Structure 1
Amino acid sequence: MSKLLLTIAGTLSAGLVITAVTIAILLPKILKAMGLHPDYDAGQKYDLQGKKALVVTTSHGVLSKPGKTTGKPTGAFGSEMTVPYYEFLDAGMQVDVASIKGGEVPIDPNSFRYFLITHEDKRFLKDPAFQYKIKNSPSIDDIDFTDYDLIFFVGGWGPSYDFAQSKRLAEKVSAAYYAETPIMGSVCHGALAFVSAKDSSGKALVAGRKMTGVTQGQLDFFGIKFTPKHPEAELKKAGADFRANHHPVADIFATVTVVDHEQRFVTGQNQNSGHETAQKMMELLSQRNAK
């Protein structure tokens, strides 16, 4: 009897191991089927040679609780940086990278886990030119936003700590808006770059504009509630017309991209909007060039 029990236990154990391995292997496909990093079939090829794009990231690399300076490593989320970067680069644009404080851009290490990594992330890991830009980014203080045609603000947990809080970033966003040249965009927490910017009368620049960012419900899914700024709450507080998609089953992957009435701001709900947001920005720029 004991031998039989041992045999059964061994068989069950082996079965559990095989099941776990199978799930691990299939996990990337399962998540993609649920909506993670969808293929953007509507993508077009744009020729924007001679145009310039700026990708702006956080400088905060620690997922710290209020009053603390230590925590898990975080920063910009990989695909929210690599997807727009390569969309713009492949359109022939000059693409620069800047961060709040300058220096090496912190990237959330979870971005590159095997079940989250994208084709663009893998391309980045083999791209010394892009990696050099990430390791040696200039501060936004040293960048003239009005020199650019497109400006993209990268999301991730990091921007929760230094985008809305940066007076200098708010001034740069306002200056870019009144220069009437740059089209600005973001995904996820990147929209926090806009909430402190003011118009010429001192009112919030985003007031009355259709905008989106990661929802409170999507943030609650991760159980991290101590980050200082949350996009949905901050955009609504600033008077933005907040838009978002929801899903009854896989709400964490629900996403949408929206454009404001002046076609100056293009915002995506989360990392699943990266391609569409970048593509929409280039579409608007191409239409402007055609006039």
Structure 2
Amino acid sequence: MKKILVVVTNVSKYPNQARATGLWLAEAVHFVEEVTKAGYEVDYVSPKGGYTPLDPHSLQADQMSELDWSYYTNPTFLNRLGTTMAASEVDASEYDAIYYTGGHGVMWDFPEDAHLQKLASAIYEKGGVVAAVCHGSVGLLNIQTATGDYLIKDKKVTGFTNTEEQAVGLTEVVPFLTEDALKERGGQYVKSDDWASFAVADERVVSGQNPSSGAAVAKEVIQYLEAQ
């Protein structure tokens, strides 16, 4: 059975204000649902291992679908989020794809994590897929290929837009803007309408724009893996 590594955050609070953050639930759920239905096994990893918090804003009634509720009320799923593997302990050779989930917390623990970068690079170099959604796309920023180039250089990528960040009122709170950072790394940034489901795939790098895009990312990842 092919396996996919799902990356989640350990950050539970904005470092610069009294506000909770964490994994945006739907960004894990909708991706995981698609790939498990297609027969893939999923493991959860975080930079430090152990507990991943859930962003309480992602649990509000207007954000939750029936699918989200089915996962949120599933003790097995929640226990797995509470006992994630540490990135330093994972063997990249066991996985065919890696997927970075979002939630604002990832802005503080994904980009500079060398263990995550090493995992993603190893998976990519052996022909696997590197994927991300929303703020999770910041996990792509510092991944390098065997030639030393940034993975996303000259590739089409997407992630949370500047205007979406402005709409949620956090432009001045986040350490940088996802859209701007992807462009600065040489990515060919593309987007759809704000809040619309949108994913783009380019040379085994798949990214989604916002919380609505997890399933779209999953379908692109599956298409790459089924073609192998």
What range is the shorter-chain TM-score in?
A: over 0.9
Aligned to 1:185: 131
Does 2:218 correspond to 1:258? Answer: no
Give 1:158 deviation, angstroms: 0.9
CA distance in 1, matches of 2:31, 2:58: 15
The two structures, once aligned, show a CA RMSD in angstroms of 1.4
- Contact 1:160/1:230 (8 A) holds in 2: no
Indicate which of 197, 207, 222 corresponds to 2:153.
207
Indicate which of 269, 276, 287 corresponds to 2:216.
276
Map residues 49-128 of structure 1 onto 2, 5 A cutoff.
50-65=1-16, 71-128=18-75
Other structure's SS at 1:152 match: strand
Aligned to 1:173: 120
CA distance in 1, matches of 2:101, 2:71: 15
- Deviations 1:176-200 (Å, cap 9, x if unpaired)? 21122x2121110111111011123
Identity %: 30
Which TM-score applies when normalising by structure 1? 0.74
Other structure's SS at 1:64 match: coil
CA distance in 2, matches of 1:171, 1:228: 23
Gaps of 5+ in 2: none
Aligned length: 227
- Deviations 1:117-163 (Å, cap 9, x if unpaired)? 12222111232221111111111111123311222110110111111
CA distance in 2, matches of 1:241, 1:124: 34
The one-letter code matched in structure 1 to 2:205 is F
- Contact 2:98/2:120 (8 A) holds in 1: no
Higher relative contact order (CA 8 A, sep 6+): 2
Which ranges of 4 or more aligned residues in structure 1 deviate by more than 3 Å? none
Other structure's SS at 1:84 match: helix
CA distance in 2, matches of 1:150, 1:203: 20
CA distance in 2, matches of 1:176, 1:216: 30
CA distance in 2, matches of 1:120, 1:64: 31
Does 2:178 correspond to 1:227? Answer: no
Higher Rg of the two aligned structures:
1
Which TM-score applies when normalising by structure 2? 0.94
The one-letter code matched in structure 2 to 1:184 is V
Gaps of 5+ in 1: 1-49
The one-letter code matched in structure 2 to 1:191 is S
Give 1:51 deviation, angstroms: 1.4
